[in-house]
Structure 1
Amino acid sequence: MHPPAHDVAAPSLLEALRSGTAQLHVALEKRLPFFSPRLDVDWYGRLLAAYYGFYHPMESRLYDSAMIPVGFDQTLRVKTPTLHSDLIALGLANPAIVALPLCPSLPPLGTPAACLGVLYVLEGATLGGQVLRREMARSLGLDASNGGAFLNVYGAETGRRWKDFLDYLGHVPLDDLGRQQAVDAACATFRCFEQWLDSQEVLL
């Protein structure tokens, strides 16, 4: 359960995002192989490469869009470099990483509200990463030094940065149309991500 934000506007947007994406979120979680007994380091590496193939173009488009509402500190939130470092730690050379396929179908970012929807998915994933981090340490012996840093990308700051993000959401004024645009973009992000991972044959 995510902690509530202080601002009275946040629960309205937050609840719309939660309820609007709930089914897609659960459906994707069921297909991710992190808890599969068949998951090995090779499969994990292919999964992380597929994550890189989505996050790299997604973050580039998002942060170059100039549409993110003021107050979001992207320099603290970018995750592609950590994925790159993990892939290096897992044995991929830089030329191989540069040559990785990138997701060609990304959610539309036509409005500031849409950017918020995408950010909700990307930031929310850091909370789930905490559970996955512990599982990968247990089952594969992975930690921040040998390929598991992305699952703990914010480290001890994970909870604080999620709360800060909720506070940020609570201070962005959105009308009903804006909230719907945010939900639609969040749903599109889940769909695009699952379709991309599926195309890379890394899902259950």
Structure 2
Amino acid sequence: MHQAHDVEVPSLLEALRSGTALLHVALEKRLPFFSAQLNADRYRRLLEAYYGFYRPMETRLYDSALIPVGFDQALRVKTPTLYTDLTALGLSNQALGALPLSPCLPRLDTPAACLGALYVLEGATLGGQVLRREMARRLALDASNGGAFLNVYGAETGRRWKDFLDYLGRIPLDDIGRRQAVDAACSTFSCFEQWLDSREVLL
């Protein structure tokens, strides 16, 4: 009986997908990448806001020592690419150091919570492919002049997402762990949207 019940338990990926779907769609609708009003100045402000979230978020994640074994953070950290883009867009090191950072971050106090947050950050790389083409067309941006973050993994994007899903599938989590992962993923979306809202870069 117990085994039959286990078969019906959704995988971590299914739980994360269904648990974050509404938040994901809501945020996507408010991102201004396809807005007629997006110009070079607004794009720079948007990237500054992204930096203000990713920098403290990745610091908290990677300093936590709670990420389950098998995640190659050196390969997947995004903040340095945002830094490079903002430098290419004209910000000095001093200006970058003075950018405000998000005070609202998800609680990352368990390995499961870290997995939930990573799911959101890694999933964002897939959407970047569509945004990269749009920014290239509208603002003539590429990896050399401020558009690298939108294509942070380049040709490796698809393979790295699959590798991440394989990694997620190998982590054994009970019901409580899955709940912690979904809660952290939802909190990551919520904190990110609140932060972008406070920086006045959303639609």
Structure 1 unaligned segments of length 5 or more: list them. Answer: 1-7
Task: Work out which of the two has the higher radius of gyration on C-alpha atoms and give 1 or 2.
Answer: 2
Kindly state the Cα deviation for residue 104 of structure 1 after the two structures are TM-superposed: 0.6
Q: Residue 127 of structure 1 aligns with which residue?
A: 126
Name stretches of at least 5 consecutive residues in structure 2 with no aligned partner: 1-6
- CA–CA distance in structure 1, aligned partners of residues 57 and 80 of structure 2: 13
Equivalent residue letter for 2:124: A
SS at match of 1:173: coil
Residue 168 (structure 1) aligns with: 167
CA distance in 2, matches of 1:192, 1:95: 26
Moved >6 Å (runs of 4+): none
Identical-residue share of aligned pairs (%): 83
Shift of residue 115 of structure 1? 0.2
| TM-superposed deviation, 1:34 | 0.1
Aligned-pair CA distance for 1:196: 0.1
What's the TM-score once normalised by structure 1's chain length?
0.95
Q: Give the secondary structure class of the aligned counterpart of 1:169.
A: helix
**What is the CA–CA distance in structure 2 between the aligned matches of 1:47 and 1:91, rounded to whole Å?**
14
d(CA) in 1 for partners of 2:13, 2:172? 13
Give the aligned residue type for 1:122.
L
Instruction: Say yes or no: does 1:180 pair with 2:179.
Output: yes
What RMSD, in angstroms, separates the aligned Cα atoms of the two structures? 1.2
For 1:2-17, list aligned pairs within 5 A: 12-17=11-16
Could you tell me how far apart the structure 2 residues matched to 1:45 and 1:100 are? 12
Matches within 5 A, 1:47-62: 47-62=46-61
What is the match of residue 111 of structure 1? Answer: 110
1:53 Cα deviation from its structure 2 partner: 0.2
Within the alignment, does 1:38 sit opposite 2:33 as a pair? no
Shift of 1:39: 0.2
Over residues 118-154 of structure 1, what are the superposed CA-to-partner deviations in whole Å (9 max), with x where a residue is unaligned? 0000000000000000000011110101000000000
Q: Are 1:136 and 2:135 an aligned pair?
A: yes
Do residues 90 (structure 1) and 89 (structure 2) align? yes
Which amino acid in structure 2 is aligned with residue 66 of structure 1? A
Q: How does 1:8-27 map to 2 (within 5 A)?
A: 12-27=11-26
Q: Distance in 2 between matches of 1:15 and 1:172?
A: 14
Q: What is the CA–CA distance in structure 1 between the aligned matches of 2:142 and 2:35, rounded to whole Å?
A: 18
Q: State the 1:105 CA deviation.
A: 1.1
Tell me the equivalent position of 2:77: 78
1:16-57 alpha-carbon deviations (Å, 9 max, x no partner): 000000000000000000000110000000000000000000
Distance 1:39 1:165 in 2: 32
Aligned residues: 196
Q: TM-score, normalised by structure 2?
A: 0.95
Matched residue, 1:158: 157
> Which letter does structure 2 place at the counterpart of 1:38?
Q
Instruction: Identify the residue that residue 4 of structure 2 maps to in structure 1.
Output: none
> Which deviations, in whole Å up to 9, do the C-alpha atoms of 1:146-184 show, x marking residues without a partner?
000000000010001000000000110001110010000
Superposition deviation, residue 109 in structure 1 = 0.4
